[in-house]
Structure 1
Amino acid sequence: MALPEVILQRQFRATIEWLAEQTRPFKAWVFADQVTRRRVEYQLKQKGIEARIYSAYKPLVHYFLEDAPLDDSIERIRITYPAHPSDRKSKRFLLEAFPLAGLLEKYQIEFRSKTTADNFYEVMFFSRNGDVQVERVFAPNKFQQDHTNEYIFSPCGWIQFSEQEQFALKCDVHRLFEQLIGHLQSWTWPEQEPYFDRLKVHVDVPFADLKLKWGEEHISFIEALHEDIYFSLIEFFNVYSGREADSRELQPGQIVPEVCYHDGPWQLQVTLEPYQAIEFPAEKALSADALAQVSEPLTPNKITATLTQLTQDLEGQSLDGMSRRGLNVPASLFEGTHPGVVITGAQHANETTGTCALLRALPILRKEYPVALGCIPMHNPEGANLYHQLRRDNPLHMLHAARYTALGNDIQSQSDEQNFEKALRNKIVAATGAKLHLNLHGYPSHEWTRPFSGYSPRGFELWAIPKGFFLIMRHQPGKADAARAFLEAITQDLSQFEALVSYNQRQLKCYRAHAGTLPFELINGFACDVSERENLHVEFELVTEYPDETSIGADFRLGHQTQFEFIRAAFAHLDIVNQT
C-alpha cells in the first residue's frame, strides 16, 4: 500500500491577531466567533484603543444576536436588504439574513428590498409607544475571480479607520483558500480518472459553532468551509477534466475535507493517501421497538446486521452487491404475487432517516402486502463509511463529502456497464418486475452556504434552506394521470400526521420569508414536483426529501417516522400505479 504523501502544509496567522496590533481606533469585519472578537476588543481597550470587531460571516444575524435593541417594547421590525450589484432581482442578501424570520417570530417582521447595491442593511425598530429607531448594518462583500474563472460576489473582511480610510481585507481564510486552490491548480495530475485514491484536506479553524434558538439552525463557519472546499474541488476537477463545472459524471477519487475546531492558528495540510475504509465494531440487529426509538444515524454494521436478521425472519433472499472499493452493499429480495416495488435508502450517505424507516417498515410490508419486494437500505456504503468517520468530529454538520462514492461520483451517474451500486439496483428492479421505486432521500436540516463561492451553494440553490418534507415524482411517458393520483392519495394520508404538518408549516413560513415563492406546487399542503422522464428505469420513481442532514434526537425520530408513514401510505395506494 502506498504511503500518504503530504503535498501542501501551511499555517496562517489569524487576521484578528493583526487587528490586535493596531494603534488607532477602528471598526473591522473578520471571520471569527464572538468570544474571540470580544477578547481582542478588550485587549485593545486595555491599551486605550477603541475598536469594534464584527463578524464578516452572516453579519446581520450576528447583529441581532449581539447588538440589536430587542426588548418587550419592540412591536415590529422592518429589514430592508441591499441589491446584488450584478443581479437586482437576486435575494442573496435576504437569504444571508436567514433564519431571522424564525428567530424573531415573536415580533412582526417585514423584509423589503432596495434598489441600491451598497452592502448595507437598514433595520427599523418600531416601539409600542410610537418610537422608531433606525440602524444600518454593513455586510462587506466584493467581486473576485474564482477557480472556475467566474467573477463572484462574496463576503470579505473589512477595516474602517474613518469614512475616508477603509478597505477590504484579505483575511486568514481567504489566504488559506487561495493557496489551497492555487497549489492544486499547479500540481501535476494524471490524465485519466481517478486522479487519486483519496485527497484529504485537513483544516484547523479557530471559529467555534454557535447553536441558534430556532429549529436545527446553527452558525458554523467550520461546516461552511467543509462545504466550500469540497464542492470547489469538485468544480476544479470537473474543469480540469474538460467537463462543465457542475457535471456529476466526474470520478476524481475521494475528496475528504476534514475541517475541525482548533484554538490556535489556521492550519492547512493536504495529503494524497490510499483509500482505506475504517473498520466498525460488530453490532447486533435492532428489534422493531429499538428501531422506532433510534435517535441518530445507524452505523453501517448495524444496518447490515438488522437487514440480515429481518431477511432471515421474513424468509427473503439476501443479495450482496459490491462497491467500486470492495465494500458490501446489503440488499434483500422477497417473493410476491403482485407487481413489485423497490425501496432504496441513503444513495447519498449523509441522508439517513430513510434507512431507518425502511428497516422499520419491512416486517409490516411483508405481512400486509403480497408484492414482490426488493430493498437496499444503504445504497452507498463507501459514502456511509466516510460519513461516520467525519461524524466523530462534527456530528451536527451536513458533511456533503460523504454524499458520493469513493470515486467521487453520484451512484445515479454510474454507467450501466459498471457492475457496482447502480447495477445492484437494476438487478433488483428486474428480479421484482418493479413498476415503482421508492427512493428515500434527505437534504440539509439547516442552512447550507458556500461563503467563498457567492454564498449560496452553487448548483444546489434550491436546497439552501429547509422547506419541510416534500416529494419528487418522476414517471415514464403516458403515466402522468396515475402519477398525480398517486401523489394525491399519499399526501392526503400524510396530511393526517399532525406533527409533520406542524413541522412543515413552520419551515415553509420561514422559507417564504427568506426565499419567496416555493418553486413547487402544493398538494394537500405538501410541496410536490412532477416530471416526465423518457428513459426512467421504472414506470414511477417517487423520491422523498426530508431535511435530515444532520438531525439527532427528537428531530431524527420525526424524520424516520415521516419516511415510515410515507412508505405505509405509498403501499396503501399501490393499486393506483399497478392499474396502469
Structure 2
Amino acid sequence: MTTLLDERIPRTLDTLLREWARNDHRGVTLEAWLFEDEAARRAAEAVLSEVGVRARLRSAYKPLVHTFLEEIDTADLKRITVRYPVHEEADRLRFLSEAYPLAALLDGIELLFEPGAADLTYLVTLEYTSGVVAEHVVFAPNRLRPNHLDEVDLTPTGWLKVTGRPDEASDLDEPLETEIEQVFHKVMAVVAAHEWPEAEPYAETLAIDVTIPGIERPLDYGDEVMSTREALHEDFYFSVLEFFKRKSGRPPEDRSVQPGQIVPDIRAGEGDAHVRVTLRSFGTPQDPVKPEQDIETADAAPDLAQIHRELAVLPGETFEGISREGRSVRGIYRAGSRPAVLVTSGQHANETSAPVGTLRAVRRLLANPDTNIAYIPVENPDGYALHGRLCEGNPRHMHHAARYTSLGNDLEYGRSEPLYEIGARNQALKMSGAQLHLNFHGYPAHEWTRPFTGYLPRGFELWTIPKGFFLIMRHHPSWGQTARTLIEAVTTGLSAVPGLAEFNRRQIEICSIHSGGTPYEIISDVPCLITADERHPSPLTLITEFPDETIYGEAYRFAHTVQMATVIAAEEAFASIMARVS
C-alpha cells in the first residue's frame, strides 16, 4: 500500500469559535455560511451569544432550501415568488436546480420561479392569506475556482460577514474556505501531482477515506436528503475519473478509460476532518453477507451469493465470464421457439432494483417452454460487492464509485483483451442471436450534486433530479418503426402496474419545475427517449431507469416490481411484433 496523503484539517466551525467567541468581540454581528448541520450551527450561535456576539450561522449548501426550513414562516402562505440568480459562469438553470425540492416541500402554495440577476442572491417575495407581504434576500455564497480540467467552476463556498467590530476595524465580507472544500482540493492536488504509470490501469484501487462533520438531512418528499458527505463522494469519484480521462487523452464523455478502481469512502466524524489517500491492491474477493430474502418480496438488494443460488435453479445452459477481481459473471440461456431476447442487469452495480426485478421476470417467462431467453442478473459483480461494502457506512447514498468495473470503465465499453465482464454478454449474444437486448438500470432516487465543481453533475445533468421510471430505446436506423411500436406496447403494458402512473406524474411535475421543462417524450405516463444508434450489437436495445439509488422497504419492492413488469411486457410485445413480420 502506498500513502499519497494523510492529513487532519481543522473543523472550520471550531476555528470560527476560537477566533470569535471572545469577550473582545462583544457587540459584533457575525454571519457565516458553513457546510454544517443545523444542530451544530445553533449550538455555535449559543456559544457566541454568551460572549455578546450576535451570530447567525447558515448553510452554504442549498442555502435557499435551508432558509425555508429554518427561517421562513410558511404557515398561511398563499403565494411565493423566487427570483433565482443567473450567472454567466454557470448553467442558466443551476440555481433553479439548487432550489429543489422546494416545489414539493411547499405543496399547496402557489410557487413561481423567475430568472434574476447574477448577484448570487435569491429574492423571495412571500404573500400571506392575511394580506401581509414579506421579502427576503437569501445569499448563495459561491466563488470562481479553477478545476482539474483547467476550466473555471462557480462553486458553493463558506462565507464570513462581520460588522460592528471595535476600534473602527474594517467590516468583513469574504469567502471562508471550509474544511470540506480544503479536503476536496487537497485530494485533487495530490492526484494531479502523483507520477502515474504511462499505461492503464494506473492503480488497482485508489482509495479516498474521509471522516468529516456535515449535513445529512432527510426531507419530506420521496427519498430526498441533503447530504454533504454524499456530495463529496460524488465529486471525488467523477472528478478523479475526469482527471484520468484527460491524462489519457480521451474526451469528457468517454467511458472506456481504465484507470483502476476509484473508491471514495466518506464517513461521519466529529471535530477535525481526516483525509487519507492510498493506493491498494485488490486482495482476495470478499462479498458482504446479507440475510436470505424471498426474492418476490425483497426489501433491499440481496447478496451476490443468493442471486447466484436463485439463478442456478433456473432451467437452461449456463455460461460465465470473469470480473477484473476474479468474481464469476454468471448467466443462463434457454432456447425456445419465440424470438430470442437478452436480459441483463447490474451493468452499473449501484442500481440495485434491476437484478431482483429481472430475476422475478425471468422466472415467470421460463414457465413457458417456448421462451427463448439469455439472462445475466449481475454483469458487474465487483461493483456489486463494492456497493454492498459502501452501504454498510452510508446505506442511502448513491455510491457511484460502484457504477463501473474494477478497471474503472463502463463494462459495455470494454472491448480489448482480456474481455473480463463484457465477455459474458458476448457469449449470451452468440448463443441466443437476440435482436432485442433488455438492459435494466437505475439512477439516483434523490438529488445528485457535485458542489465542489459547479453543483450540477457534469455530463449527467438530465439525471440530477428524479423524474420517475424512464425508458430509453436505442435502435439501428432501419429498425425505427419497430422500436416505436415496441416502446408504445411496453408503456401500455406498464399502465397496469398499480401506482406507477401517479409516481411518474408527481416526479415529472416537480422535476420539470426545477429543471426548466421535460426534454423527453412522455408515452402513457412514462418518460422516454428514442434514438437511432448503431453502437449496440442488437438492433433493438431497451434500457430502463428506475430512481433506486439507494432505496429500501416498500420503495424497493415497488421498484423491482416495475422492472419485472417491464421485462414481461417487452418480451411479449417483441414476440407479437416479430410474429407479424415473419
Unaligned 5+ residue runs, structure 2? 164-169
C-alpha deviation, 1:305, in angstroms: 1.2
Aligned twin of 1:94? 96
C-alpha deviation, 1:283, in angstroms: 7.6
> What secondary structure sits across from 1:455 in the alignment?
coil
State the Cα deviation string for residues 446-499 of structure 1 (Å, max 9, x = none).
000000110000111111000000110111121111110111111111123231
C-alpha deviation, 1:416, in angstroms: 5.3
Aligned twin of 1:135? 136
Aligned twin of 1:297? 301
State the Cα deviation string for residues 278-332 of structure 1 (Å, max 9, x = none).
524778976xxx21210111211111111112x2xxx312222111221101111
Aligned twin of 2:37? 33
Change (3 A) 1:416 1:339: farther
Sequence identity, in percent?
38
C-alpha deviation, 1:522, in angstroms: 1.2
Aligned twin of 1:76? 79
Change (3 A) 1:78 1:377: same
Counterpart CA distance in 1 for 2:286 and 2:188 is 32
Aligned twin of 2:160? 159
Q: 1:45 aligns with which of 49, 69, 80?
A: 49
Change (3 A) 1:463 1:47: same
Counterpart CA distance in 1 for 2:247 and 2:485 is 45
> What secondary structure sits across from 2:527 in the alignment?
strand
Q: 1:63 aligns with which of 61, 67, 72?
A: 67
Unaligned 5+ residue runs, structure 1? none
State the Cα deviation string for residues 107-166 of structure 1 (Å, max 9, x = none).
12111111x101111111111121111111100111110111101111011111149631
Alignment of 1:48-447 (within 5 A): 48-71=52-75, 73-86=76-89, 90-114=92-116, 116-162=117-163, 165-276=172-283, 278-280=285-287, 290-309=294-313, 311=314, 315-368=315-368, 370-415=370-415, 417-447=417-447
Change (3 A) 1:283 1:297: closer
Aligned twin of 1:8? 5
1:529 alignment partner AA: L
Moved more, 245-254 or 539-548: 245-254
Moved more, 340-349 or 124-133: 124-133
Change (3 A) 1:301 1:576: same
Q: Which runs of 4+ in 1 moved over 4 A?
A: 281-286, 577-580
Q: Is the 8 A contact 1:435 1:577 kept in 2?
A: no
Pairwise CA RMSD: 1.6
C-alpha deviation, 1:208, in angstroms: 4.1
C-alpha deviation, 1:577, in angstroms: 4.4
Counterpart CA distance in 2 for 1:464 and 1:578 is 40
State the Cα deviation string for residues 231-254 of structure 1 (Å, max 9, x = none).
111011112222223421111111
Q: Is the 8 A contact 1:303 1:377 kept in 2?
A: yes
> What secondary structure sits across from 2:388 in the alignment?
helix
Counterpart CA distance in 2 for 1:179 and 1:282 is 35
Change (3 A) 1:242 1:539: closer
Counterpart CA distance in 1 for 2:512 and 2:579 is 37
State the Cα deviation string for residues 149-192 of structure 1 (Å, max 9, x = none).
10111101111114963111122122222211111211111111
> What secondary structure sits across from 1:75 in the alignment?
strand
Counterpart CA distance in 1 for 2:291 and 2:181 is 47
Counterpart CA distance in 2 for 1:540 and 1:340 is 12
Counterpart CA distance in 1 for 2:114 and 2:41 is 30
2:146 alignment partner AA: Q
C-alpha deviation, 1:373, in angstroms: 0.8
How many pairs does the alignment contain? 567
1:503 alignment partner AA: F
Alignment of 1:494-573 (within 5 A): 494-573=494-573
State the Cα deviation string for residues 522-549 of structure 1 (Å, max 9, x = none).
1122111111122421121000011001
TM-score normalised by structure 1 residue count: 0.95
C-alpha deviation, 1:25, in angstroms: 2.3
2:548 alignment partner AA: D
